[in-house]
Amino acid sequence: MKKAVTTEPVKKAVAAEPVKEKAAAAKSVKSVTKAAAAKPVKSVTKAAAAKSVKSVTKPAAKPESRTALVRRARRINRELAEVYPYAHPELDFENPFQLLVATVLSAQTTDLRVNQTTPALFAKYPTPEDLAGANPEEVEELIRPTGFFRAKTKSIMGLAAALRDEFGGEVPGRLEDLVKLPGVGRKTAFVVMGNAFGRPGITVDTHFGRLVRRWKWTEETDPDKVEKAVGELFPKSDWTMLSHRVIFHGRRICHARKPACGACPIAPLCPAYGEGETDPEKAKKLLKYEKGGFPGQRLKPPQSYLDAGGIPAPPLGAGAPPATGE
């Protein structure tokens, strides 16, 4: 009798073999799929990262040489001379004394407000001697519209007394003498020197300082340092008119908060182009004073300004002109 052969374990082993193969195949496919999937993602990620880095890491702009800066600054001045051939001091005055007093009064207010205030002041006190001997309360009342009228009264009466006592009632034409007068700093002194005596000077007011920093002529913020830095870029003969042109441009086009970049004639030369409105039509609406068809700051402006389409400012109490801001 033959011994029965048990085939059950063999069957189980045979049956299990395909299962193992399937599992191995699945494992292999899974690992291959993972590897295949991971490889393209890695390469795409690297490419995207490289592209991103490339776009961010642009070559740094080459620093402007001193020679290039001087050329650009002088070209801006020439361009501004064509845009503002009528640029002038925007304070009404008939003599050095009036200009000196008006400039002191212009601190922390507009030239327009000063021009509307000084006619009555100069009518009552036409000379340094008259103003020095005035009743302070009466002077305060006359100059009240300019603001800080008590402090300004002390300054203009003090400088009037100094002119009477130390300079024979005449305004000196030297910087070292002018800055000794009460309320007179370098800015005021240069306004008087340049416009009453024809002696070159740079007037660093808020407009001037703001624009020369926008144009990268200097990074200085101290007025004396700005004056020195800008003065080194131009011959002395340009200083006074340069000041007028830059200030005119700051009041009319290159405003502090909303510069009219799209209407700016020197936009190609300006490193700060784009800080303001670049759309030409929208920019036109931001123009001020004669550029926007509004009155200027002087009640009695030069004829050249009137010939260019400028409008005189109205006297005090005659109705406020359209708002022109700075």
- Residue 205 annotated among the catalytic residues of the structure: yes
Long-range contacts of 114-123 (CB under 8 A, 24+ apart): 114/146, 115/90, 115/91, 115/297, 115/298, 115/299, 115/313, 116/145, 116/299, 116/313, 116/314, 116/315, 116/316, 117/142, 117/143, 117/145, 117/146, 117/316, 118/92, 119/92, 119/299, 119/315, 122/98
The Cα–Cα gap between 116 and 88 comes to: 18
Q: Which two tokens stand for residue 259?
A: 């510069």
The values of phi and psi at residue 311, to 5°, are -115, 130
Compute how many other C-beta atoms are within 10 angstroms of the C-beta atom of residue 211.
Answer: 23
Residue 284's nearest CA partner among 251, 255, 316, 262 is 262
Backbone angles phi, psi at 295, to 5 degrees: -65, 155
> Coil, strand or helix: which one is 99?
helix
Q: Where are any strands of DSSP class E within the chain?
A: none
Catalytic option among 205, 228, 282, 284: 205
Catalytic residue among 187, 238, 288, 291: 187
SS3 at position 322? coil
What's the token pair of residue 318? 């005659």
Number of helices (H) and strands (E) in the chain: give both, helices first: 14, 0
Q: Which residues are designated catalytic?
A: 187, 205
